[in-house]
Amino acid sequence: MIYQRSSALFAEAKNYIPGGVNSPVRAFKAVGGDPIFVKSAKGAYLFDEDGNKLIDYIASWGPLILGHAYEPVINAVIDKAKKGTSFGMPTEIETELAQLAVSMVPNIDKIRFVNSGTEACMSAVRLARGYTGKEKIIKFAGCYHGHSDSFLIQAGSGAVTFGSPNSPGVTQGTAKDTLLAMYNDLESVRELTSANQGEIAAVIIEPVAGNMGCIIPTEEFIKGLRKLCTDENILLIFDEVMTGFRLGRGGAQEVLGVDADIVTFGKVIGGGLPVGAFAACEDIMNQLAPDGPVYQAGTLSGNPLAMSAGLAMLTELNNNSGIFRSLADKTAYLHKGLEKVLTETGIAHQINRFGSMISVHFTQEPVVDFESSAKGNNETFKKYFHGMLEQGVYLPPSAFESYFLNDALSYKDLDTTINALKRIANDLK
């Protein structure tokens, strides 16, 4: 395929935008080469500036669960835009979306809309600290909760030490209040709670991780984490920015059978527009301003365009719960096909899958946390990514990202993807 115009556009963008992109993974640094510039999209397909058609496996990193330019969502946004794009005042549609979300998700009474997943997670942690009167939080290595300072933390020198900043601009003072545990390792959480008795406000986790590839929690780990938080009077925050309204109507809480104290949302809840949200029981949510002392605000929060897209999307999902089974079946079909090719070709690999999330790791070891994910052969992944791209298949341009399937993908598209891997498999050795 030819990408001359995309390359020219990237060179131009770098003159005015840091790195030429507005989110780092788009720059292809992890895989090499120049990023693809999209001109339009429809259903399961991307159409780039060079006229190439690509089967899409990122779905705008998750929100386009029903495919690109899904007509009910597009029409809802168009109709609402004709009446004004933003008012900075209350609108009825905010309550309509809130009512629908609360009815779909177990264990929440009230929800507050924001503008991104980062903002949702940042606000959830502030709320947890305000509600509990405690300052420290625990997060897990490899889980991404946005780029708020509290979350950009890497491991310290030991399991019970404080973390340290992994980005310039994050202060040591901020880092000292974030403790780092290992995913799927309940003992690492116990060590931290024991060493910081009475100081931890919340544990925040991606209940099914998507930022070190798709990582599935063991039942013992996720249910043990719930019990530990209850026993230690710590709030459990599920970051469902990726999993919310994707794994099922009620997200990971429903599918895993585990209730969190606070849940954050993004992606699907905005139908492709910038929306985030956080939700909890009435007692916790009533601590938010203007009812309570915990301050949180946003000029564009709940803007009518975003609310209309989210309402249209959630309405479709709520009215057709079979969508989640359809997506899971398609993802399982893709899993089986890719695994067959890689096994027959003798390429070391692990494929993780949960619902409509899936990732391929080029390693012999099971991938259960960030450490095992990082052992994947990145050189093989680069060949895989570019080889599939040449075959017209667009995958996440990083070995540490989950694929997100959309329901517009047909079984013919899945077969095309599996056959594309067959054509390049020998080049991956």
- Choose, from 267, 330, 369, 384, the residue flagged as catalytic: 267
* 8 A C-beta contact, residue 417 and residue 75: no
The whole-angstrom separation of Cα 412 and Cα 336 is: 15
Show the tokens assigned to 141.
């290595």
SS3 content of the chain, % helix, strand, coil (to 5): 40, 15, 40
Structure tokens at 389: 């791209």
Q: By the 8 A CB rule, do 191 and 160 touch?
A: yes
CA distances from 107 to 251, 285, 354, 420 (A): 11, 12, 22, 43
The catalytic residue among 70, 144, 384, 403 is: 144
The single-letter code of the amino acid at 423 is R
Residue of 316, 335, 333, 326 lying closest to 406 (CA atoms): 326
Catalytic residue among 185, 239, 261, 369: 239
Determine the Cα–Cα distance for residues 103 and 106; give it in Å rounded to an integer. 8
Q: ω before 290 within 30° of 0 (cis)?
A: yes
Please tell me the distance from the alpha carbon of residue 382 to that of residue 403, in angstroms, as a whole number: 15
Query: Annotated catalytic, 267?
Result: yes
Structure tokens at 175: 């880092």
The answer to whether 279 and 108 are in contact (CB under 8 A) is: yes
Q: How far apart are CA 192 and CA 275, in angstroms?
A: 33
Q: Is 144 a catalytic residue?
A: yes
Q: Are 381 and 31 in contact (CB under 8 A)?
A: yes
Q: What is the DSSP string of 303-367?
A: -HHHHHHHHHHHHHHHH-THHHHHHHHHHHHHHHHHHHHHHHHT---EEEEETTEEEEE-SSS--
Residues identified as active-site: 144, 239, 267
